[in-house]
A and B are shown apart, each in its own frame.
Chain A
Amino acid sequence: MTDIDPSILLVEDNEVNRDMLVRRLQRAGHHVSTVGDGEAALEAMRQQQPAVVLMDMNLPIKDGWTACQEAQQDPSLSSIPIIALTAHAMEEDKRRALEAGCSDYATKPVDFPDLLAKIAAQLDARC
């Protein structure tokens, strides 16, 4: 159902950042839906089968790393690319995110054109 119009799932608990990213992504022409914690993210991924997931790592209830790992183990979700979004900027944090099964990684504050390029790359890889 999302073949022509690929959608993005944004997982972010911080309201300000969520609002800002949704608006910018929509302006860039993407369909965006949002959830605020890791548990809800897995649920939304199952139901919506988004083309790409942008996931903050510091999430309540179930943090981003755990959610990534679980998505990786679920055959119905393992093909969905996840781009990690985090304010943890150390090399170590990047490695941790990739080890958890994320396809790519973006540091806050977000370089928006760069984020759009990363999303496009993931969408291209899927087609």
Chain B
Amino acid sequence: MRAADAVSQLRPRLSLRGRLYLFSGAILMLFAFNVGTSLWGSFARNESSIAYREAVTAAQLTAELEQNLQNKRQQVLVLATLRETTEEPLDAAALNQAYADLEIIAERLRQLGGFGGEDLEAYYRRLHDSVTALLGEWRQFYERYNETTQTPDIESAVSYNNTQQRLQELDQRQSFVAVQRANAIDATITLTDQITVLGFISSIAITLALVFAMIRSTNASLTRMKRGVERFGSGDLTYRIDEQRDSGEIGDLARTFNDMSTKLQTAIEEMNTARADADSANAAKSMFLANVSHELRTPLNAIIGYSEMLQDELGDGAQIDREQFHHDLATIIFSGKQLLTLINDILDLSKIETGKMQVSREIFSPAGLLVQVCDALSPLLLQNNNRLKLDIDKDSMRDMNSDRGKLQQIVTNLFSNACKFTKDGEITVSAHMSEESLIVSVADTGIGMTQAQQDRVFEAFTQAESNTGVKYGGTGLGLAIVREFCAMLGGRVALESQPDQGSNFRVTLPADPTSVPAGA
């Protein structure tokens, strides 16, 4: 994992544009490099042809100079011999010709000085000195040729031989330097040729590699994008593209896509929860309707059934059992009241929901109320063979200022639940008052509830299980009303319960809201 991270850290994170710039920059540099080496190569070739030409010219000049010197010496020797034998002077034209010849030789010498450079400098200087001396001697020879009667001095053989020697040395040196230069230039040409070929081949290779890398990296980025879009599109709402892998435009695109994904995901999740909420609300409503229908029909069955039966019995004209008659009427009345309670519950809840429920306060004795309610509801105890334990702390009890009717209904609902969900057990109604509050608790030893059930039973139309209504009757309104009434009276209801261990509902209500200091 860490190694992979390190690798991806090393990976150059370049934008697409950066990659393109880098790519074209690299190719341009390769191109410049190739052009450079090829220029260097052709420069070297040029160099070599110049050097060749120079060498040829220098060799030619040397040869000419040698020839001229030889000719002149021949002439001088001939003239000298002539002078000894004929004593005929030279005319002006011949002399001028001779001087011109000497001038030509001097000129050649100068020209030769233009070639060679440092390497040949010393050789040339020596040759120059000795040729100049020789020429001086020859000039003297001509100048004195006509003047004197005595035989003019011919140049010494030493001078001429010296000159010859120098000339030869220069010549040798020249060819040596030329060969050296040629070798150096050849080496350069070979080198530049090699560099050019290598450069060309490696340019192609590097360009190909760059193109390949470029395509691969761009393709990888785009593939990541595509995979992200596909995965998200096919419903994997939590999928996100790895933003760290790319920078620049594609990284931006990935980030934008991820932002969009997050928003979409939130929106879709919200929509789903909204729909689920709506669905469960709807399910609760239809459940409620089914339960209400069932609850209305049960007492109606008794009311209609007994009434029809009494009507029949009256119609028979037979002797009427007054006691039986009285009992049957009581049953009809009881069922009618049960029906009324249910209808009132539904009305209460809709009043609460539309905010129309009023609180009407009065001073009353909560202890008296509790005794009265338990008395009135004692028939419920018989249904499931339960015992009642009434535990009222007389010492702490006093009058309170609250809504008597609502407290009565709160206790009634809790009491009837306790009777309904407990069999052969004990129901304990206890109460005491503190400085500010009345605390009433209704505890039973019945079926109890799991934590999840406790969390939902205070919702309207909601029962612990979907079959609670079928098993025990009821519409899931009792506890919703308890909770709302407690809130309206400034108090609260708490529930402690465990499956099969029983439940304990504890209601806390302010004894006199007007006397409670603000903020307490």
Instruction: Give residues in A with beta carbon < 8 Å to B.
Output: 14, 16-17, 20-21, 23-24, 27, 58, 60, 63, 87-90, 107-110, 112
Contact = CB atoms under 8 A, between A and B. Distances in A.
Contacts of A60: 471
A76 B95 CA distance: 171
Contacts of B298: 14, 17, 87, 108
B471 A58 contact: yes
B302 interface: yes
Contact of B301 (A23, A27, A87, A88): A87
A23 B331 CA distance: 14
B470 A109 contact: no
B300 A109 contact: yes
Given A58-B470, A89-B297, A20 B290 contact: no
Query: Of B301, B302, B334, which is in contact with the most chain A CB atoms at under 10 Å from its CB?
Result: B301
Contacts of B211: none
B312 interface: yes
8 contacts: A17-B305, A20-B309, A24-B308, A24-B312, A60-B471, A87-B297, A108-B298, A108-B301
Contacts of A63: 470-471
Contacts of A87: 293-295, 297-298, 301
Contacts of B309: 20, 23-24, 27
A24 B304 CA distance: 12
B297 A107 contact: yes
A27 B312 contact: yes
Interface size on B, as a range, is: 20 to 34
A100 B149 CA distance: 172
B335 interface: yes
B473 to A, nearest CB: 8
A60 B470 CA distance: 10
Contacts of A21: 305
A60 B420 CA distance: 13
Tell me the dominant secondary structure on chain B's binding face. Answer: helix
A17 B308 contact: no
A88 B305 contact: no
Given A87-B297, A89-B293, A16 B331 contact: yes
B294 A20 contact: no
Given A87-B294, A87-B301, 7 more contacts: A14-B298, A17-B298, A20-B331, A24-B309, A27-B313, A88-B290, A109-B304
Nearest to A113: B308
Contacts of B300: 108-109
B305 A110 contact: yes
B312 A20 contact: no
A66 to B, nearest CB: 12
Contacts of A89: 293-294, 297
A20 B313 CA distance: 13
Interface in B460-507: 470-471, 473
Query: Of B290, B298, B473, which is in contact with the most chain A CB atoms at under 10 Å from its CB?
Result: B298
B475 to A, nearest CB: 13
A72 to B, nearest CB: 21
Nearest to A23: B309
A24 B297 contact: no
Given A16-B335, A24-B309, A112-B308, A88 B294 contact: yes
B52 interface: no
Contact of A17 (B302, B470, B473): B302
Contacts of B304: 109-110
B293 A109 contact: no
A66 B219 CA distance: 65
B301 A17 contact: yes
A54 B471 CA distance: 19
Nearest to B290: A90
B421 interface: no
A93 to B, nearest CB: 8
Nearest to A60: B471
A68 to B, nearest CB: 15
A23 B302 CA distance: 12
A77 B434 CA distance: 63
A85 B300 CA distance: 14
Given A24-B309, A27-B309, A58-B470, A16 B290 contact: no
A21 B309 CA distance: 9
B179 to A, nearest CB: 118
